[in-house]
Amino acid sequence: MVNQTSSHLEEFNRHVLEIQDGAFTFACDLLGDEAAAAIITQRAITQVFKLGRTDRSSIRKGVLRYIADNYTRSRAASNLLQGLQLSKLSEFNRLVLLLVDHLSLPYADVAKILRCSPSKVCRQLALARSKIANCDRIKMREPHAENTYPGGRR
């Protein structure tokens, strides 16, 4: 029994080492605070271990799901990524965008993490990308508006 438990822990730790950087990056991008990201990532890993997950895919999905679920309930969410276009997105769109574009997860995995269909992930990702592109275009026009004088003359 001790050998089996030790083997299970070693396998779990090996998989955690493979996914922890991505999980921390995801949490840090969501929370905008490295200390809070470290805490939530550690809690996620502990929770997944308590659930007895052993394969890499289940561990990764469990950790990212825990971070996503707890982010939406976190007070830190209101201070998120201020000044960036991501702050203009809904929480769900922000999660989808970060999981797909930043962590390069497949749509099917993101759907499992966020408990929705892959088609919803695809739709929300397109919407998020569109909103960010619109913000970039608006920001590009702003300097022109500041440089115009009443009556339309320079």
- Helix then strand then coil, in percent of the chain rounded to 5, is 80, 0, 20
- Domain 81-154 falls in which CATH fold? Arc Repressor Mutant, subunit A (1.10.10)
pLDDT, position 2: 47
Phi, psi of 36 (to 5 degrees): -65, -35
Count the neighbouring beta carbons within 10 Å of the beta carbon of residue 126. 12
Which residue ranges make up each domain of the chain? 1-80, 81-154
**Beta carbons of 114 and 95 less than 8 angstroms apart:** yes
pLDDT, position 130: 86
**Beta carbons of 41 and 24 less than 8 angstroms apart:** yes
Q: How far apart are CA 118 and CA 148, in angstroms?
A: 46
Q: How far apart are CA 73 and CA 143, in angstroms?
A: 37
pLDDT digits (tens, 9 = 90+) for 134-154: 765 544 334 444 434 444 444
pLDDT digits (tens, 9 = 90+) for 53-99: 888 889 999 999 999 888 765 544 444 444 456 777 888 998 998 89
Q: How far apart are CA 76 and CA 32, in angstroms?
A: 8
pLDDT of residue 6 exceeding 80, the answer is: no
pLDDT digits (tens, 9 = 90+) for 25-59: 999 888 888 888 899 999 999 999 988 888 888 99
Q: How far apart are CA 5 and CA 88, in angstroms?
A: 46
pLDDT digits (tens, 9 = 90+) for 97-126: 889 888 888 999 999 999 999 999 999 999
